[in-house]
């Protein structure tokens, strides 16, 4: 799977939300997240913006975790299917990794599918896969 940057932002802003849970499952290795160099650059650029300063520590920790846990792939040919050009980097990552899912909070920027990849939000991901969002005994994400 591929995580759009807005999923990581939501994970920092709402630690009990579904986006945080899917991100935590990827970091823990129960789901395989894939990244390209371009996707990692986008994560870093967006998560270090001044407007997210309040969550800088959470974002830095998440970036470190993603860097260590995500599978690295090399992007293939350029795609131009998303309405926002930057979002095409995520489609390219999904295509290069044969990802079944690209998880985003902005589905309107993407086609419903791209190749074999379904474009879904976090709730749809859990519904499609039948995966239960995992929590620890305190109610937080694992």
CATH number of the domain within which 99 lies: 3.40.50.1010
Residue 59 lies in a domain: yes
Residue 100 lies in a domain: yes
Residues 6+ apart with CB under 8 A from 20: 10, 11, 12, 14, 141
Q: How many domains does the chain have?
A: 1
Beta bridge partners of 30: none
In this prediction, residue 79 carries a pLDDT of: 95
Tell me what the mean pLDDT of segment 13-41 comes to. 96
Average pLDDT, the chain: 92
Residue 139 lies in a domain: no
CA distance 98 to 1: 8
In this prediction, residue 84 carries a pLDDT of: 93
CA distance 88 to 84: 7
Residue 123 lies in a domain: yes
Tell me what the mean pLDDT of segment 18-33 comes to. 96
Tell me what the mean pLDDT of segment 55-83 comes to. 95
In this prediction, residue 62 carries a pLDDT of: 95
DSSP state of 116: T
| The pairing of beta strand 113-114 with beta strand 34-35 | unpaired
Asked if 28 and 142 touch (Cβ cutoff 8 Å), the reply is: yes
Tell me what the mean pLDDT of segment 22-36 comes to. 96
User: Which structural domain, as residue segments, surrounds residue 44?
Assistant: 2-129
In this prediction, residue 142 carries a pLDDT of: 34
Residue 81 lies in a domain: yes
CA distance 103 to 13: 17
Residues 6+ apart with CB under 8 A from 47: 5, 8, 9, 12, 59, 60, 62, 63
Residue 135 lies in a domain: no
Tell me what the mean pLDDT of segment 22-32 comes to. 95
106-131 tens-digit pLDDT: 999 999 999 999 999 999 999 999 88
Tell me what the mean pLDDT of segment 29-53 comes to. 95
CA distance 81 to 21: 28
SS percent in the chain: helix, strand, coil, step 5:
55, 10, 35
Binned at pLDDT 50, 70 and 90, residue 141 comes out as very low
In this prediction, residue 16 carries a pLDDT of: 94
């Amino acid at each position: 799977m591929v995580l759009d940057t807005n999923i990581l932002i939501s994970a920092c802003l709402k630690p009990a939300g579904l986006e945080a849970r899917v991100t935590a499952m990827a970091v823990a290795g129960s789901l395989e997240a894939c990244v390209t160099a371009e996707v990692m650059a986008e994560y870093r650029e967006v998560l270090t913006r001044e407007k997210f300063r309040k969550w800088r520590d959470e974002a830095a920790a998440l970036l470190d975790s993603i860097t260590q846990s995500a599978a690295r792939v090399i992007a293939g040919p350029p795609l131009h299917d998303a309405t926002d050009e930057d979002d095409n980097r995520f489609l390219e990552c999904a295509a290069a990794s044969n990802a079944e899912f690209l998880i985003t909070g902005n589905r309107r920027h993407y086609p419903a599918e791209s190749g074999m990849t379904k474009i879904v939000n976090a709730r749809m991901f859990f519904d499609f896969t039948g995966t239960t969002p995992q929590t620890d005994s305190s109610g937080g994400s694992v």
